[in-house]
Amino acid sequence: MKCRHCQSELTLPLVDLGSAPPSNAYLTVETLRAPEKYYPLRVLACTECWLAQTEDYTQADELFDADYAYFSSTSTGWLAHAARYAEKMTQQLGLTQQSLVIEVASNDGYLLKNFVTAGIPCLGIEPTASTAAAAEQLGIPVMREFFGEQLGKQLATNGKQADLIAGNNVYAHVPDINDFTRGLKAALKPAGTITLEFPHLMQLLEHTQFDTVYHEHFSYLSLFTVSRIFQTAGLRVYDVDELSTHGGSLRVYGCHADDARSTSAAVANILAEEKRRGLQAEDIYKNFQVRADKVKDDLLAFLIEQKRAGKMVAAYGAAAKGNTLLNYAGVKPDLLPFVCDAAAAKQGKFMPGSHIPILSPAALPEQRPDYLVILPWNIAAEVKRQNAGLAELGTKFVTAVPKLEIL
């Protein structure tokens, strides 16, 4: 396989998680009886541009279909994050009723609804019908298409270049990252701004976040690599924020390469930090598999120990990262009888691969598990707050990444 960005030969393995079904391919009672598609889940790193990337087995339209079950609005913390962003960018860029905001992968309208409320024209680009329909109900115009250079040029031809293009947790999801980036350039006004948020590869490596590896994530990104991809497309990263979301993310601010804005010191600082922590050397990638295996082994040992002790362990959050962890560890309903999730679209379905049933959180006070494993560890504090009553009943909260911990 060649690197998706620079076409160099890929020879450096990062992690091999065996084979698994797509992490968001939740099953119904009917599909539970049918064969599941499994794909290899391996990540390699490019020693030229340092883009970490999954081996190429699946097509985007197989992963992001009409029944795609991830709805961004399920997390109250994420909604608050989106509202703060909208307010910040409106002030910083002076957005008005004459501006245009485009969000690529606009999901259920969790972000753009803030611009609708403020009277700022916006447009969502969202290929999954289930989430696009939810956004349209909020008054957000949505184009139900995958984004790339062709669509970016089409928007420009139709007079729909944007003052602000936002992309939250989509950059890692695109199979052709060069085409996608050229699309951003085409759809951006001459003095416009691009912001992209994505999990930071530095945090993934540092905190053994192998469960954020899944087929929908084609790329695992550092600032070094994103800056290089932008440069190749005629764009420039002029600023960057470090965020706590998704276990440690970056928000990069981009503009056209010839834009008059100066590049902030934050860009040089994070580039230097990435280099200091070894992101452009092979060692940190070579020892990752052993660390991932320890996380898996510790979780399995904990679940088996509790089963033998007659304790009930349940899980919270039917998240993609949970599916990666459970499938790699080979966990089935005998060790984890159910998972609760607040998203109505997932309730009554089953986790892909493990076939663990997904229930409403209302089941927790009835079942009163001894332990509740919070699979989306990045929102563990939010889950604990929402289920404070369980703690009073004696339930203990557990996270497995970066190490097994009883909270």
pLDDT tens for the chain, residues 1 to 407? 999 999 999 999 999 999 999 888 899 999 999 999 999 999 999 999 999 999 876 554 555 554 554 677 777 888 999 999 999 999 999 999 999 999 999 999 999 999 999 999 999 999 988 899 999 999 999 999 999 999 999 999 999 999 999 999 999 999 999 999 999 999 999 999 999 999 999 999 999 999 999 988 999 999 999 999 999 999 999 999 999 988 899 999 999 999 999 999 999 999 999 999 999 999 999 999 999 999 999 999 999 999 999 999 999 999 999 999 999 999 999 999 999 999 898 999 999 999 999 999 999 999 999 999 999 999 999 999 999 999 999 999 999 999 999 99
One domain for residues 251 and 301? no
Q: Does residue 59 sit within a domain?
A: no
One domain for residues 102 and 234? yes
Domain holding 250, by residue range, is 72-200+229-256
Give the separation between CA 304 and CA 179, rounded to whole angstroms. Answer: 47
Q: Does residue 274 sit within a domain?
A: no
Any long-range contacts for 355-358 (C-beta under 8 Å, 24+ apart)?
355/27, 355/32, 356/315, 356/326, 356/331, 356/332, 357/333, 358/26, 358/318
One domain for residues 244 and 340? no
* pLDDT on residue 57: 62
One domain for residues 95 and 152? yes
One domain for residues 338 and 391? yes
* pLDDT on residue 67: 54
- Residue 375 is classified by DSSP as S
370 contact partners, CB below 8 Å, separation of at least 6: 306, 311, 312, 313, 394, 395, 396
Q: Does residue 305 sit within a domain?
A: yes
Q: Which helix (H) or strand (E) holds 305?
A: helix 288-308
Beta bridge partners of residue 313, listed in sequence order: 371
One domain for residues 103 and 193? yes
Single pTM value for the model: 0.90
Q: Does residue 2 sit within a domain?
A: no
Rg from Cα positions in the chain: 21
205 contact partners, CB below 8 Å, separation of at least 6: 277, 279, 284, 285, 288
The position carrying tokens 């590049």 is: 263
Q: Could you count the other beta carbons within 10 Å of the beta carbon of residue 159? A: 7
Q: Does residue 90 sit within a domain?
A: yes
Is residue 148 a contact partner of residue 170, using CB atoms and an 8 Å limit? no
Q: Does residue 269 sit within a domain?
A: no
Is residue 27 a contact partner of residue 355, using CB atoms and an 8 Å limit? yes
Q: Does residue 147 sit within a domain?
A: yes
Q: Which helix (H) or strand (E) holds 391?
A: helix 388-392
One domain for residues 132 and 239? yes
**CATH number assigned to the domain comprising residue 339:** 3.40.50.720
Q: Does residue 355 sit within a domain?
A: yes
pLDDT digits (tens, 9 = 90+) for 1-54: 999 999 999 999 999 999 999 888 899 999 999 999 999 999 999 999 999 999
At 295, list the tokens: 């996380």
Give the separation between CA 393 and CA 205, rounded to whole angstroms. Answer: 37
Q: How many domains does the chain have?
A: 2
Beta bridge partners of residue 38, listed in sequence order: none
One domain for residues 192 and 131? yes
One domain for residues 320 and 246? no
One domain for residues 248 and 356? no
One domain for residues 108 and 249? yes
One domain for residues 244 and 342? no
**CATH number assigned to the domain comprising residue 163:** 3.40.50.150
